[in-house]
Amino acid sequence: MTVERRASRIRQDKGAGPRQPRPPRGQSVRAHRRGVSAALTERLRGPLEELYREFDYGARVERDAIRFPLHYPDPRDREIVALLTACLAYGRVDLFSAQLHGVLGVMASPYAFVREFDPERQRDVFRDFIYRFNRPRDIVAFCVATRDILLRHGTLEQCFLAGDPDPAGPITAALERFARTFLDADLLPVFPHGRLSRGYRHLFPLPSAGGPCKRLHLFLRWMVRREKPDFGLWTAVAPARLLMPIDTHVENMSRAIGLTRRRSRNWRMAEEITARLAEIDPTDPVKFDFALCHKRMSGDCLDRRDAVVCAPCGLRGVCRHWARGRTTPA
C-alpha cells in the first residue's frame, strides 16, 4: 500500500474521509465543512423522512427481534423480555429465536418468574438452551442479576435512572452503569469461583470498551421511543439522548447515504451517525433505525447499484452507488 493510500485510510477511520476539495478563497476550512455538511443534511432530509413515514412496519415487525417483547402486554413482563431478547440479539434473528422461545417457554410471566427465581431449585430449567457464546448458566445468571435488581429498584427503568448522572446529558455514563450493574451482581451461586463466564460478559458490553453496544442501544430504543414500533415505556428518558444501534445492515446503509465514512463499527461510529440524523430530527434521531435496517435486511437494498432493486428507492439521489454517471434505472 502506498504512503498516500495508507494516510487516506487513517483519515477515513478517523472520520475525516477522503481529502476534501479546498474551500473557496476567503472561507475557512471549518466554515466550508459546515456548509458541505448542512447541504448534505438538506439533501438527506426529504428521502429519509419519507422512508420513515412510508415504511411498512407491520410487514417487518414479525421478522424483527422486537416481536418477542411485543407479545407481552404487561409492561413489567415486556421490560424483562426486551432486555433478554436484546442481550441475545447477536447473529441472525431466526437463529436465536428458537433458543429464546425455549427460554421464554418456561416463564408464564417473565417478571414473576425472575422475581421468584431460585438458582438452587431452578438451575436446570434452561438445560436445553445453547446459542453461540451462551450456555444455560448465562441465562441462570441473567435471572439472578435481574431478580436482585428488581428487588432493589422495582423496575429496570428505575435501575437505569438511579445510575443516570445527567438526565439531559449524553447517554454514555448511564448505559455504562446500567451494564455494570449486571456485571457486578452477586453471581457466586452461578459462578462459584467468582469469574463470570465469557458468555455472560458478552450479554452486557460496556461503552467504555469502545464497541458499538448495538444490543444495549436497541434495548433503549425499544423502551424509550414513543412511536411505533417501539414501546415508549421509559418516559423519564428523552429519545433525543439515544444512539443508533449499529449492526451490519445499518452500517452499510449509513455508508451508502453518507452518514459515516468510518471503517470500524464502534461507539464513535454510532455517535457520528446519530449526530448526522440529529441534524434532521434532533428530538428523535434514532427513529430511522428500523426502516434503514430492514430495508437492507429484506433485500430492498443490495448495497450496490442495481437497476431493478434501486428503481423504487427514494434514497437514490443521495446514494453513493448512484453518485457517478447518474443513469435512471430501468
Contact positions vs ligand SF4 (CB under 6 A): 256, 301, 303, 309-310, 313, 315-316, 319, 321-322
Compare residues 75 and 317 and give the one whose CB is closer to ligand SF4: 317
Compare residues 221 and 295 and give the one whose CB is closer to ligand SF4: 295
Compare residues 43 and 316 and give the one whose CB is closer to ligand SF4: 316
> Nearest approach, Cβ of 316 to ligand SF4 (angstroms)?
4
Q: How far apart are the C-alpha atoms of 319 and 301, rounded to whole Å?
A: 11
> Nearest approach, Cβ of 325 to ligand SF4 (angstroms)?
14
> Nearest approach, Cβ of 256 to ligand SF4 (angstroms)?
5
> Nearest approach, Cβ of 259 to ligand SF4 (angstroms)?
11
Query: Angle at the Cα of 140 (from 136 to 143), degrees rounded to 5?
Result: 140
Q: State the alpha helices, DSSP H only, in the chain.
A: 3-13, 29-54, 57-61, 67-70, 75-88, 93-105, 110-115, 119-122, 136-153, 156-162, 172-183, 198-203, 214-224, 248-256, 267-278, 289-297
**Greatest CA separation found in the chain?**
76
Q: How far apart are the C-alpha atoms of 298 and 135, rounded to whole Å?
A: 30
Compare residues 81 and 256 and give the one whose CB is closer to ligand SF4: 256
C-alpha cell belonging to residue 311: 428503481
Which of 214, 208, 211, 232 lies closest to 284 in space, CA to CA?
A: 232
According to DSSP, residue 226 is labeled -
Compare residues 3 and 308 and give the one whose CB is closer to ligand SF4: 308
> Nearest approach, Cβ of 11 to ligand SF4 (angstroms)?
24
